[in-house]
Chain A
Amino acid sequence: MMTARKYNCREIVERWIIEGQLHLETPAHLGSGDSDELTDMPLLVDDVEGTKRPLLTGATLAGALRAYLGEWECGYDTVARHGARPGKNSLTVKLFGVLSGEDDGEQSRLIVEDALGEATKMERRQGVGIDRQSRTAKHQRLYDTLLWPTGTTFKLRLELLVNKDDDSAELRQALATALQGLSNGGITLGMRKRRGFGRVCVKEWRVRGYDLCMPGDLFDWIEQGAAPLSDQLALCTDIKQAFNIKELLQDKRAWFSVEGGFSLNQSSLLIRTEGLSSSDPDMKHLHAHRPGNPSGVPVLSGTSLTGALRARAFKVVNTLTNADTKTLSLTESIFGSEDKEIDRKNKKRSKASRLHVREHVIKYAGTDLVQHRVSIDRFTGGALPTALFNQQAAIGLPETVVTLSLWLRAPENHEIGLLLLLMKDLWTSDLPLGGESSVGRGRLQGKQLTLGYHTVEETKQWNITAVSNDALEISGEPQRELEVFVDALQEKLQKMTDPLDDKESSDER
């Protein structure tokens, strides 16, 4: 007599296969986590076929999608700020499974495959740590890193498994929400992804579903399930349409964004890189590779911009409070931990930056002018021997546009206030960017700025435009509301300096 055996398995009833082509919009460091004798931070490459191809591991992509969906579903407040995780009944956990170490909960319903990429070459960038007080390079903090250049592509392939007890539409909605983070720039990948690296874009998708309860679909999946969808389906730009859903999940994130255009008129910008051939000048402004432009284009790197903002924020708050340690905690809460070594020694938990900064191309700047300079001996007034050098900065022209984009996750009012003060300093050429500020480089002038405050309940926007050299036009939400943020900063700093509020302040942090 045959007896039916009860299998303790998932009983998969649907499979959805998703494919798309991911492009890098800014350079990305998908590292191997190792260092070699040539570079401090080499890239993860796949050289099975004898050529070094970029490798985007499924774990990297799945982690980014999980984090994005968790923040979208539960808000930055829950996930990023307080270190909490989405609950076990959340769609994030249903789709991606529980995190390792947690015994309760099922495995991921999403299979994310490793993606091999196509890249023309590697890009090398150098960076250096800047001392907070002296504003000079820190000793032994020069590093170099390899990057995959803009335009590198990866073929993505994911598979969604829907179990018998699952709500298929709900899972598809969650996955579509996560994937649209790849389309709208919400997801960045790799190292220093909050400093402008690793911005990605997937413009079009191919999605095919198999209902395994239907014999036709089942046979199709067995026969063609492993084949690329490009042979079978057309591309679809609308992720909702591709997944046959009406709406994405509700966005519960809150952030403050700043986007603006600045001019570099009567100034220049020099984020230094070395000349790499005898015909190059000693110092050149940082250029990044772009498809179709082998010599590269001048960029304002996110690391330079953030470094300048962090230093100025520290200076602003320190000036107003004259309380060093608390100043540090306020800036670190926005910009992240500055020195992980010190954090480790003090057994302090490092924080990631909540400020996202994008890397942008400097448009219409003059980059073909080489300036020859010489150091002057301050005692004799004559030229120093062997101190002749030349530089090729990005020269500001009347039409030059330097674009800034940054946004602060889960902001508090006083933090927005601090950010506004920083923008004011940038706008008024008080805060120089890049090197050689002492000879007048790096001074921006504000032309136009858009400020956005997004919460679950509302979205506010202010547009600030320079109408002449000394006048501004502010449109959108009432101007007074911006003042509230700055007042909140002053109030906060007041509390920080007040000894009675000392305990309360530290508890809050």
Chain B
Amino acid sequence: MKVLSYQVVLDEPVLASSLDGDPNDAESYPYLPGSLLRGALIRRYRQTPNTRLDATDDDFRRLFLDSTCRFLNAYPMLDGYRSLPVPRSWHLKKADEVETDRTIQDFAVDEPQDNEQYRLLPRPFCWLDANAEQVMVLAPDKQFQVHTQRNAKKGRATEDEGAVFRYAALAEGQRFAAAILCDHDADAATLQALLSDELLLGGSRTGGYGRARIENVYEEDMNWREAGMAYEGELDDGILTITLLSPALLRANHGCHAVSPQVLTEALDACLKSSGITLPEPHKAFLAAEPVGGFNRTWNLPLTQALACVAGSVLVYLNTRLSDTARQQLENHGIGERRAEGFGRVAVNWAGQEQWTIRIPIPPVNIESEQPLSDAGRRLIKTMQQRRLRRKLDEQVLIRSQRLINNNIKLPHKPDKTQIARLRSRIKAELLKAEPDLNCVTEFCLEVENRSSARSKWDRMQMSDGSTLLKWLREQCSQTQPEQWRKPLGLSDPQIVSPIGGVNANIDDEAYAALRSEYLLRLFDALLARIMKQGGNE
């Protein structure tokens, strides 16, 4: 038997729909089912010359249909390894969170005799470090997206076609590991040739879902075992633990799909028949059932739904010993139906410790060496910085004008709105220019000072120190030192926005010097507007 291992990297979210959820939801499995991968490879196989997509063709049948080649599910990678389903015999204290250093109790080995309440481990996948008695657990990331159905001709949702539905898909960027088991060496070579480049997986492939690529294809050595760790032999006292590494589709004697310890034992017996082993009644069983379905693209029809024994189900037998050949037979071929699609995978005496300590993997942080910014990147960041700076200055204009009116301006008489409006008009006209200049305010102040009646109106508006508003305006316009002109805008720190990618937005830079005129004018305008408002009607 040859084993081809490969990894699947999701470039887009993948919707491998399970039968869970509401009618308007499509909830993805937390893994890529073997049937999905097999279907994608069949599509690729069909595109190769001199091949036939014919269920009666021997080659095609052997490669994809009759379980000679078994396409195992792609499970998320954990710390560089293919994770496996968490055994259903693993329990966590009810009050405990899933976090590092918490203890998992394997009820298949021993059930604690304390008064604690336990619950199933709420993570679907794990990877064991038997030496350290640690286990890493993981739930793959999902992406939730709400869509609205629309009529393709009308281009919009209608009363008949306008359902709002939700996709919970496997999020992009994740890496999954899978394997293909080939009984014939020649088949492995054929399939290996198909394992390359991009694949389209799952549903809604024209809607931005399903693009993935295959990487790291290699042939495993002869000692490969799906459970990862090498087989350490039988446990003491002849305890035999069987763990399902994928869902198993089993039929009871009456012909229906069923999930029970007896049905599972019968299926194991059937597989071990050639070894002459018959299993006793199971001592413990940790089982659950789930409906499974599927979709046949050739028929363009959904498959019949059936009840399957969930991945991670555990059976414990006492006083039972398996030969190495029998174990290999069981682990390599699996049990039940649809084994070509990865159903019915089994591990013997896997994870046989009473307690495990949780270790939450820390996602690797790729700190790449600092790359010099491209010209386009630098321009973009410069634009971003200018915007951030402007937003900050916009805020300051509003804050400072309010503070000035509250703390620094005295209005013993009602201000003359005509005079204020004249100055505001000039400021607004100046602000429309490409390079606004504070001279418009200075000139206005000089004009006013030369006209006694206008001056007397402006003298009504005073600062708290007794000087006039007009004088204050002139003073601000004449300030050219950064620390002086930044003061009315309330900017003590010239670097008011943090740098991005080494690009600063320092208001003392030459590039930003033009902002001085613009924002001082805006401050004056905002201040005058507030004075008009505060002054009320004459």
A residues near B, CB below 8 A? 1-3, 5, 7-10, 37-39, 47-50, 97, 103, 105-108, 121-124, 144, 146, 274, 276-278, 385-386
Are the C-beta atoms of A49 and B428 separated by less than 8 Å?
A: no
A37 in contact with B526 given A5-B300, A8-B152, A106-B154 (CB within 8 Å): yes
Q: Is the CB of B432 within 8 A of A278?
A: no
With contact pairs A274-B422, A274-B425, A278-B447 given, residues A50 and B383 touching in the complex (Cβ less than 8 Å): yes
Per a CB cutoff under 8 Å, which of B383, B398, B432 touches A49? B383
Contact B153 A8 (CB under 8 A): yes
Question: What's the Cα separation between A9 and B151 when bound, in Å?
Answer: 8
Closest B residue, CB atoms, query A11: B153
Contact A106/B153 with A122-B432, A278-B447 known, Cβ cut-off 8 Å: yes
Task: Determine the chain B residues whose CB is within 8 A of the CB of A7 once the complex forms.
Answer: 152
Whether A107 and B156, one on each chain, are in contact in the complex, defined by CB atoms closer than 8 angstroms, is: yes
Minimum CB distance partner of B390 in chain A: A47
**Contact partner of B425 among A5, A276, A278, A386, CB < 8 A?**
A276
Cβ contacts under 8 Å, B453 to chain A: 385-386
> With a CB–CB cut-off of 8 A, which chain A residues contact B433?
121
Known: A105-B154, A122-B432. A277 touches B443 (CB 8 A): yes
B522 at the interface (CB under 8 A from A): yes
- Residues of B292-342 contacting chain A, CB below 8 A: 298, 300
> Chain A contacts of B151 at CB under 8 A?
8
- Chain B nearest Cβ from A282, distance in angstroms: 9
The 22 sampled A-B contact pairs (Cβ below 8 Å) are A1-B298, A3-B300, A5-B300, A8-B151, A10-B152, A37-B522, A37-B526, A38-B428, A38-B525, A47-B387, A49-B383, A103-B158, A106-B154, A106-B155, A107-B153, A107-B155, A108-B155, A121-B433, A121-B434, A274-B425, A278-B447, A385-B453
CB-CB nearest in chain A for B397: A37
User: Would you call A50 and B152 a contact (CB within 8 A)?
Assistant: no
The answer for the CA separation of A34 and B457 in the assembled complex, in Å, is 34
- Of the residues A3, A10, A277, contact of B440 by C-beta under 8 Å: A277
Q: Is the CB of B426 within 8 A of A10?
A: no
CB of B159 within 8 Å of the partner chain? yes
B153 and A9 contact, CB distance less than 8 A: yes
* Closest Cβ–Cβ distance, residue A28 to chain B (whole Å): 16
Partner of B444, one of A2, A10, A39, A278: A278
Produce 1/0 per residue, B136-174, CB < 8 A to A. 000000000000000111111011000000000000000
Given contacts A50-B382, A121-B434, 14 further A-B contacts (CB under 8 A): A37-B398, A37-B522, A38-B431, A39-B428, A48-B383, A49-B383, A50-B383, A103-B159, A107-B153, A124-B429, A274-B422, A276-B429, A278-B443, A386-B451
Q: Which of chain A's residues have a CB closer than 8 A to the CB of B42?
A: none
By a CB distance below 8 angstroms, the chain A residues around B529 are 37
Q: Is the CB of B153 within 8 A of A121?
A: no
Give the Cβ gap from A17 to chain B, nearest Cβ, in Å. 19
A284 CB to nearest chain B CB (Å): 12
* Residue of B158, B300, B425, B447 ringed by the most chain A CB atoms within 10 A: B425
Among residues of A, the one whose C-beta sits closest to the C-beta of B160 is: A103
Residues of A within 8 A of B382 (CB): 50
- B residues 385-418 near A (Cβ < 8 Å) are 386-387, 397-398
Rounded to whole angstroms, the CA-CA distance of A146 and B298 in the bound complex is 63
Listed in ascending order, the chain B residues whose CB lies under 8 Å from chain A are: 151-156, 158-159, 298, 300, 382-383, 386-387, 397-398, 422, 425-426, 428-429, 431-434, 440, 443-444, 446-447, 451, 453-454, 522, 525-526, 529
| Cα–Cα distance between A8 and B154 once the two chains are bound (Å) | 10
B contact residues around A49 at 8 Å (CB): 383
Q: Is the interface of A mostly helix, strand, loop or mixed?
A: loop
Contact in complex: A144, B428 (CB < 8 Å): yes
CA distance A373 to B425 in the complex (A): 22
Q: Which 7 A-B pairs have the closest CB atoms?
A: A107-B155, A386-B453, A276-B429, A9-B152, A50-B383, A278-B443, A274-B425
A258, B242: Cα distance in complex, Å: 96
A37: nearest chain-B partner, CB-CB: B526
Report the bound CA distance from A110 to B453 in whole Å. Answer: 63
Output the nearest chain B residue to A146 by Cβ-Cβ distance: B432
Closest approach, in angstroms, between the C-beta of A389 and any C-beta of chain B?
Answer: 12
- Chain A residues closer than 8 Å to B158, beta-carbon distance: 103
Report Cα–Cα, A3/B426, bound state, in Å.
74
Cα–Cα distance between A433 and B443 once the two chains are bound (Å): 34
Give chain A residues whose Cβ lies under 8 Å from the Cβ of B422.
274
Taking CB atoms, residues of chain A closer than 8 Å to B432 are 121-124, 146
Q: For B426, what are the chain A residues with a Cβ–Cβ distance below 8 Å?
A: 276-277
Are A2 and B298 closer than 8 Å at their CB atoms?
A: yes
* Contact, CB under 8 Å: A124 / B428: yes
Asked if B153 and A10 sit within 8 Å, CB to CB, the answer is: yes
Min CB–CB distance B18 → chain A (angstroms) = 24
Shortest Cβ distance from B452 into chain A, in angstroms? Answer: 8
Chain A: CB-nearest residue to B446 = A278
Contact, CB under 8 Å: A50 / B443: no
Q: Please, how many angstroms separate the alpha-carbon atoms of A385 and B151 in the complex?
A: 75
Residues of chain A lying within 8 A (CB to CB) of residue B383: 48-50
Instruction: Decide: A50 and B447 in contact? CB cutoff 8 A.
Output: no
Q: Report the minimum CB–CB distance from A109 to chain B (whole Å).
A: 10
Contacts of B522 in A (CB 8 A): 37-38
Q: Determine which residue in A1, A8, A105, A276 has the highest number of CB atoms from chain B within 10 A of its CB, and name it.
A: A276
Q: How many angstroms from the CA of A48 to the CA of B383 in the assembled complex?
A: 8
CA distance A38 to B523 in the complex (A): 11
Contacts A274-B425, A277-B426; A97 near B155 (Cβ below 8 A): yes
CA distance A49 to B431 in the complex (A): 20
Contacts of B434 in A (CB 8 A): 121
Question: Which B residues are CB-close (under 8 A) to A9?
Answer: 152-153
A273 to chain B, nearest CB (A): 9
Residues of B with C-beta under 8 A to A50: 382-383, 386
CB of A140 to closest CB in B, whole Å? 10
**Residue in B closest to A279 when the chains form the complex, CB atoms:** B443
Give every chain B residue within 8 A of A8 (Cβ-Cβ): 151-153
Q: B159: which A residues are within 8 A, CB to CB?
A: 103
Contact B429 A107 (CB under 8 A): no
Task: Please indicate the chain B residues that have their CB under 8 angstroms from the CB of A1 in the complex.
Answer: 298
Q: Which residues of B contact A47 (CB under 8 A)?
A: 387
Q: Which residues of A contact B155 (CB under 8 A)?
A: 97, 106-108
The smallest C-beta distance from A436 to any residue of chain B, in angstroms, reads 18
In the complex, A124→B433 CA distance in Å? 11
C-alpha gap A218/B12 in the complex (Å): 28
> Nearest Cβ in chain B — how far from A75, in angstroms?
27
**Cβ of A277: which chain B residues have Cβ within 8 Å of it?**
426, 440, 443
Complex: A32 Cα to B425 Cα, angstroms:
22
Distance (whole angstroms) from the CB of B390 to the closest CB of chain A: 10
| A5–B298 alpha-carbon span in the complex (Å) | 12
Q: Which residues of chain B come closer than 8 Å to A97, judged between CB atoms?
A: 155
- Residues of chain B contacted by A123 (CB below 8 angstroms): 432
Nearest to A108 among chain B residues (CB) is B155
Give chain A residues whose Cβ lies under 8 Å from the Cβ of B428.
38-39, 124, 144
Q: Tell me, rounded to whole Å, the shortest Cβ–Cβ distance linking A122 to chain B.
A: 5
A144: chain B residues at CB < 8 Å are 428
Q: Using Cβ atoms and an 8 Å threshold, which residues of chain A touch B298?
A: 1-2
* Cα of A10 to Cα of B151 in the assembled complex, Å: 10
- Determine the residue in chain B with the shortest Cβ distance to A50: B383
Smallest beta-carbon distance B52→chain A, Å: 13
Contacts of A274 in B (CB 8 A): 422, 425
Q: Which residues of B contact A121 (CB under 8 A)?
A: 432-434
Q: How far is the CB of B460 from chain A (nearest CB, A)?
A: 15
Docked complex Cα distance between A10 and B150 (Å)? 13
User: What is the chain B residue whose CB lies nearest that of A126?
Assistant: B425
Q: Which of B426, B440, B522 has the most CB of A within 10 A?
A: B426
For the complex, give the distance between the alpha carbons of A49 and B386 in Å. Answer: 11
How far is A385 from B457 in the complex, measured between Cα atoms in Å? 14
Contacts of B454 in A (CB 8 A): 386
Bound Cα distance A276, B440 (Å): 9
